[in-house]
Amino acid sequence: MAATYLDSADLHSDFDRALRRSLDAAGAHLVGGKEDAAVVLRIRKDTSGRRVLAVSARNTPQEYEVYYAIEYSVEVDGKEVIPAQTLELVNEFSYDEAALLAKEREESGLRAALARDLAGLVLRRLASL
């Protein structure tokens, strides 16, 4: 992982930032172009969102599920060593209209935590190479 290129469409997503920090902490040297890299880590999909899990009798959401999904592949010297793999993590949280700002902050924190966990999973799979 001495010279690694991270090919990601969204450079400002929670996952991209967490993965870059994790790679840097692990000692990987991120390069600016594919031609300079021995390893190309391609992030094919980086999505997150929420789904309603439960509603009240008044048909208002009471519980949500926050999800974060990625799809990635790894090439070493132009040869694909890890074919496209999808990882998805989910977490649930209760919802209260009276605490809207706090719940938005909680959701944002959960999404960032899921992104960090996914970055850790990808890093462990890279370490197994």
In terms of pLDDT, which residue wins out, 125 or 103?
Answer: 125
pLDDT given for residue 129 in this prediction: 76
Global confidence as pTM: 0.86
Please give the structure tokens belonging to residue 1.
Answer: 């992982």
Q: Where residue 37 sits, what CATH number does that domain have?
A: 3.30.160.150
Sign of the dihedral defined by the CA atoms of residues 96, 59, 53, 15, in that order: negative
Which candidate, 2, 34, 1, 30, places its Cα nearest to that of 16? 30
Mean pLDDT of the residues in the chain = 91
Of 28, 108, 111, the C-alpha closest to 74 is 28
Q: Is the pLDDT of residue 93 over 90?
A: no
Rounded Cα distance, 113 and 24, in Å: 18
Instruction: Return the pLDDT at 10.
Output: 86
SS3 at position 64 = strand
pLDDT of res. 1: 66
**Both tokens assigned to 24:** 């840097």
Q: Report which of residues 67 and 101 the model is more confident about.
A: 67
Query: For 45-80, how does the pLDDT look when each residue is reduced to its tens digit (9 = 90+)?
Result: 999 999 999 888 888 888 999 999 999 999 998 899
Residue 14: which residues within 8 A CB-CB, separation 6 or more? 48, 68, 111, 112, 114, 115, 116
Domain that holds residue 75: 4-127
Look at the block and give the residue holding tokens 């999808």.
Answer: 86
As a whole number of angstroms, the distance between CA 75 and CA 92 comes to 34
What domain count does the chain have? 1
pLDDT in tens, 13-46: 999 999 999 999 988 889 988 888 889 999 999 9
Per-residue DSSP letter, 30: B
